[in-house]
Structure 1
Amino acid sequence: MGFLCFCCVGFGLEMAKMATFPPVVVFWTLRFLMFLTSFVLEDWALDELINLDESVHRARQRRNALLLVASSYVTWTFQTHTFSNSVETLTVLWSLVLIKRITAPQSSILSSIVLGVVVVFGFFNRVTFPAFLILPGFWLLPHFWHKPFTVVALVLAALATAFIAIAIDTAFYTPEPITWTDLITNPVITPLNNLIYNSSTENLALHGLHPWYQHILANLPQLIGPAFVLIFFRPYVSLRLCSAISGIVVLSLIKHQEARFLLPAVPLILSSLQLPKNPTTNRIWTASWIIFNVFLGVLMGIYHQGGIVPGQVFMSKQPDATNVIWWKTYPPPYLASQRQK
């Protein structure tokens, strides 16, 4: 996570230090950049994944997929935030694009190199990222068997990216300037620390323990609403759907389960569904889809913890405010120096 902080949030903190950039400007700048990034990269990835499908109904599938993803409240709310889950969604989609490119008849070794970089970045961003690539990874085995040099290229690219990520995390979390000795004797490996922390049930209990079916029966319906029914009646078997199933199954084995953990599965599932063919059923389903997303979009996009940013803006204008208590809401991020004060 430090790798991502250095690349994205660190940029925002540096802007905040400049007198000409008030914190609220930094906030909206980062929010706009995340919106733009998701708008371009998510649609681009889905478009390419569907175009690479061997389906006679490719045009209709592409239209329905992009429409469902664009109309989902998850796309307008969570994907426009600088959440690590939102970044994970993009890395999962582009990993699948690269897998498709690698397994294409006219594949390039560059795709293997880029996949190595993206996979390591996704892993350092969120340790749960590989869960969505377990099943899609089997698509690569025949290609790697016949072209082993591409495996070497992927591994070397991954190792180089991992070294850079570890160096950035070590520098980010070390108070003094680091040396080569620090990287060798005392490196900060964020995914490893994350795995160690989350392997303890006592640690997870601090955040809440859930049954194994929490994701399937509660969190997923909360994210996709009426589309949940279509998974069982109108699925379109694809690499995207296999990736979603892979991630949901693995994440269901973890005792702490939040709905945002399944954000990468939302576009994967919505782009793998077929709408009801019966006109009456289709109209009923469409109406329920619109009502669901409008309601959840307003709830999660406006009212859910919606007072934090206005509260921060208000506090920034108070000359004598030194301590703030956040009760039953998500506390905003702050600098380490501010924490010590």
Structure 2
Amino acid sequence: MWRRTYLLLLLLRVYFALSPSYLHPDEVFQGPEVIAGELFGYNNVRTWEWTVAKPIRSVFPLWPVYGLPMALLKAVWARDGDGLVSPSAIYYTTRIVMFVLSFVLEDWAIHELVHSPRKRTEALTLVASSYVTWTYQTHTFSNSVETLLVLWCLVLMQRIAYTNNPEPDEKGLTPEPISRRSYITSSLALGFLVVFGLFNRITFPAFLLIPGMQLLPHLWNRPLALVALVTSAFFWIFVAIATDTAFYTGPAATTSFRALFEYLHTAPVITPINNFLYNMKASNLKAHGLHPHYQHILINLPQLLGPALLLLIPSPPRISDFDIDRMLNNPRLTAAITGSVILSVIPHQEPRFLLPCIPLILTCTSMPESRIWRQRFWVTWAIFNGAMSILMGVYHQGGVVSTQLAIPDIIRSSLSDTQNIAKTVEVHWWKTYPPSLYMLGPPISNPITNDTITISTDPLLGANKTNLFDSLTTNLPACEDKDDLLSRIANAIAGAQYPTEVLLVAPLSAWRFEPGQTIPPVSNFSFSFPAPSVKGTAPRNALQLTHLNNYRKHINLDDMDFGDDGFMPTLTRVVGRRGLGVWRVERECADDQMSMHSEPDGKDG
């Protein structure tokens, strides 16, 4: 029964790994975006973390996690020998890699850390059925990698500690101590993982503080293990700093080893120090959002664990057996507690920062002894994780990736339908997370003229409708320029400016309509967008929004406005009109015959 359940949960993990939901921009721009740009030469965005004078993001952990799979993909699946690979293949390859890492390394670590067969089965079932495992752990977050590193550091610490004090199992049997060769190998691996974790995220040491202190006596009694760990750590620190220095310095540092050593001596790039100094300034964190210190404990952990938090509360018979020493001797629990407490001191707190705590806590819980309460827990647990996995794993910003991958085909189709000879296409993204540029792939050509098209991506985020209108009309051809195809080609030959194709990508729920107005059908959500009136300026032409594409599995939680719209109208709009649409934007000229279904009101969406 348990094996069949585990297999079903594994299939669910595969399904959500391949569902293109979008949980946070960091899952793209802190990893795959940069590496895909380096390997394939596609357009890519390097956010401020990569471009500041003292960069805070390391590429050292990115090459083995994302660079190696992409390089293998490039070698195996390059099209026509040009070295190019479909962006969709790159995206889904990285998601499959994260699934495999989660399935193999996370479950394997739990199998080693939990010694009791019964407890192990419960722990594996809890972790494998958590929506955090299905969604966050299969996305390309540095936090997901950090989770695996924390677990395996605890595994290696346990192996090293077993050389002196093997822990008896539940039957009282003591395992044989591992050999000298094995504990030295574990120490070498631990040194690498500690450095890898530190360059991946500077929060990583917070989870290993107490387990690391508890390991010190074992290392002191095993000097060869201590020497191996320190030697390994220093070696990999050098490799990490050299990798980052070469990446950020550019060709000047990669011409020869001598040039690289000169830069390492005069201007090394040490990203963890830069990251630490950046996060020590409250003014810097304020730009990302400040949270109360109780955010992690009272809000984020319940959001991630749900009813599993109740399993941490001991029942009356077990309260009398509560032993603080036994709790401290549980490295998984101490790692979760110290990590949560230390991260709670930092005023910027997001749920994903606590991802390493989730498997650690779930392996320390105890099921209710009553069969009825166990059944009630599993029902509640299934409902909670089912609802959260559908929301976060399928619908949360779920149309951004699929739409961005389809944008080249949408552009070609739109230009062909309108016989537009544009060389430039502007794609404005409104009320969505910013899309990844590498997903646009190689350059495309205009189907009319066969000229190469420049695609400009403009993430407007939560701009109001006035700013949206201004952005859409900046380079939009005027009404008098909308001539027939022959006139436009003649103007282009004469040296006149090519027209610009303007597209808008936005959630269907972003458009609010006045009561009594007919809402356009989702299948053809075309309408007129009136120009906002500005006092003292001449009236402007409205815009015609012609619906081109729609991806229904998309919900924008940031568009919920219960205070102004009310509870049910908000749910009706955000959930009922779920989906991400693409529109062709044109000026509404006097001679246009396009049908207009309705006009959105002037309220900012």
TM-score (norm 1): 0.91
What does residue range 283-322 of structure 1 map to in structure 2 within 5 Å? 283-317=375-409, 318-319=411-412, 322=425
| 1:61 aligned residue | 119
Higher RCO by CA contacts (8 Å cutoff, separation 6 or greater):
1
| 1:229 aligned residue | 310
Contact 2:211 2:335 in 1 (8 A): yes
> Out of 229, 243, 248, which is 1:154 matched to?
229
Contact 1:226 1:289 in 2 (8 A): yes
| 2:156 aligned residue | 98
Q: Which amino acid is the alignment partner of residue 315 of structure 1?
A: I
What does residue range 236-247 of structure 1 map to in structure 2 within 5 Å? 237=327, 238-247=330-339
Contact 1:92 1:133 in 2 (8 A): yes
- Number of equivalenced pairs: 333
For 2:190 and 2:364, locate their aligned partners in 1 and report how far apart those are by CA, in whole Å.
23
Q: Which sections of structure 1, spanning at least 5 residues, go unmatched?
A: 52-57
Over residues 225-251 of structure 1, what are the superposed CA-to-partner deviations in whole Å (9 max), with x where a residue is unaligned? 001122222699421111111110110
For 1:316 and 1:261, locate their aligned partners in 2 and report how far apart those are by CA, in whole Å.
35
Contact 1:6 1:172 in 2 (8 A): no
Q: Which amino acid is the alignment partner of residue 251 of structure 2?
A: E
> Out of 306, 331, 338, which is 2:434 matched to?
331
Q: Share of identical aligned residues, percent?
A: 50
Cα gap change, 1:184 to 1:198, in 2 (>3 Å): same
| 2:340 aligned residue | 248
For 1:267 and 1:141, locate their aligned partners in 2 and report how far apart those are by CA, in whole Å.
25
Over residues 247-274 of structure 1, what are the superposed CA-to-partner deviations in whole Å (9 max), with x where a residue is unaligned? 1011001010000000010000001101
What does residue range 119-130 of structure 1 map to in structure 2 within 5 Å? 119-130=194-205
Over residues 253-297 of structure 1, what are the superposed CA-to-partner deviations in whole Å (9 max), with x where a residue is unaligned? 101000000001000000110111112222221111000000000
> Out of 47, 59, 64, which is 1:2 matched to?
59
Q: Which amino acid is the alignment partner of residue 228 of structure 1?
A: L
Over residues 150-175 of structure 1, what are the superposed CA-to-partner deviations in whole Å (9 max), with x where a residue is unaligned? 22221110010111111111122223
Greater helix share, structure number: 1
> Out of 211, 217, 242, which is 2:298 matched to?
217
Contact 1:16 1:22 in 2 (8 A): no
Q: Which amino acid is the alignment partner of residue 299 of structure 2?
A: A
> Out of 124, 134, 138, which is 1:80 matched to?
138
| 1:272 aligned residue | 364
Contact 1:2 1:190 in 2 (8 A): no
Contact 1:220 1:262 in 2 (8 A): yes
| 1:131 aligned residue | 206
Q: Which amino acid is the alignment partner of residue 33 of structure 1?
A: V
| 1:196 aligned residue | 277
Moved more, 114-123 or 275-284: 275-284
For 1:266 and 1:83, locate their aligned partners in 2 and report how far apart those are by CA, in whole Å.
15
Give 1:146 deviation, angstroms: 1.6
Contact 1:12 1:27 in 2 (8 A): no
Moved more, 290-299 or 222-231: 222-231
Give 1:29 deviation, angstroms: 1.0
Give 1:301 deviation, angstroms: 0.3
**SS of 1:203's equivalent?**
helix
| 2:106 aligned residue | 42
For 2:62 and 2:434, locate their aligned partners in 1 and report how far apart those are by CA, in whole Å.
17
Cα gap change, 1:62 to 1:172, in 2 (>3 Å): same
Q: Which amino acid is the alignment partner of residue 139 of structure 2?
A: H
Cα gap change, 1:132 to 1:339, in 2 (>3 Å): farther
Contact 2:98 2:139 in 1 (8 A): yes
